[in-house]
Amino acid sequence: MFVLVNLKAYPCDPVEVATAAHEVSESSDADVAIAPQAAAIETVAGTGVETWAQHVSPNEHGSHTGSTLAEAAAEAGATGTLLNHSENRLKLADIDGSLDAAERVDFDTVVCANNPDQVAAAAALGPDAVAVEPPELIGTGTPVSQADPDIVRDAVDAAAAVDESVDVYCGAGISTGDDVVAAEELGADGVLLASGVAKADDPQAALEDLVDPL
């Protein structure tokens, strides 16, 4: 199982979380990655943990003030990127452009979607993975696998109908090892979470709890 921890803009210590994630990844069967703020990518990558950008912009070098250039994220040490998170929605054309940008630097990619229909549309653009995240469950501690397991099953089927090579991750409300196991049993290849680790008093203990049942 792939575990991607999005640190968002939470006031956590990204190096502490990244160090914990690296140790847990090395000692378990889970592949744990961290997506910090852009300014922290280099520091986080320095811990040895797999490091992702939270976003890359659909542009190349040039007059693009405020953009997150894929090449800059890669130079800082990122190896993948989130796209279209519910807190940073993109137009379909911009998702496609950001995927092109990610491809220039050989990034792994996951495109977030609200429901199975959006999962199918995202899968058609050719990312490495899609993540189904009903926005009303994000940060609630109630996992989608518990609140509405059919969404996960339908998302897995929707992605497979378009492109069987696209992995499906389960997000929104993931916070325990039981949540991860439930996602896996519903057909997900990984999970996407944030506050369950980023806001934990002990990030390493939270991560160990996540992967222990695996």
**Of residues 214 and 18, more confidently modeled:** 18
Q: Say if CB 193 and CB 175 are below 8 A apart.
A: yes
- Residue-level pLDDT at 137: 65
Task: Report the C-alpha gap between 201 and 174 in whole angstroms.
Answer: 16
- Residue-level pLDDT at 139: 64
What's the domain count of the chain? 1
In tens, the pLDDT along 2-13 reads 999 999 999 999
Q: Where residue 133 falls among pLDDT bands split at 50, 70, 90?
A: confident
Query: Could you tell me which residues are annotated as the binding site for substrate?
Result: 6-8, 138, 173, 194-195
Q: Residue 34: which CATH number?
A: 3.20.20.70
134: left (phi over 0), alpha (psi -120 to 50) or beta: beta
pLDDT at 140 > cutoff 70: no
The torsion angles phi and psi of 156, rounded to 5 degrees, stand at: -60, -45
Section 96-114 average pLDDT? 97
This prediction has a pTM of 0.94
Q: Say if CB 32 and CB 49 are below 8 A apart.
A: yes
pLDDT at 192 > cutoff 80: yes
Query: Could you tell me which residues are annotated as the binding site?
Result: 6-8, 138, 173, 194-195
Domain region containing 112? 2-211
User: Which active-site residues does the annotation give?
Assistant: 85, 133
Section 185-201 average pLDDT? 93
Residue type at 149?
Answer: P
In tens, the pLDDT along 20-29 reads 999 999 999 8
**Of residues 127 and 137, more confidently modeled:** 127
| Least trusted range by pLDDT, from 53-62, 142-151, 166-175, 198-207 | 142-151
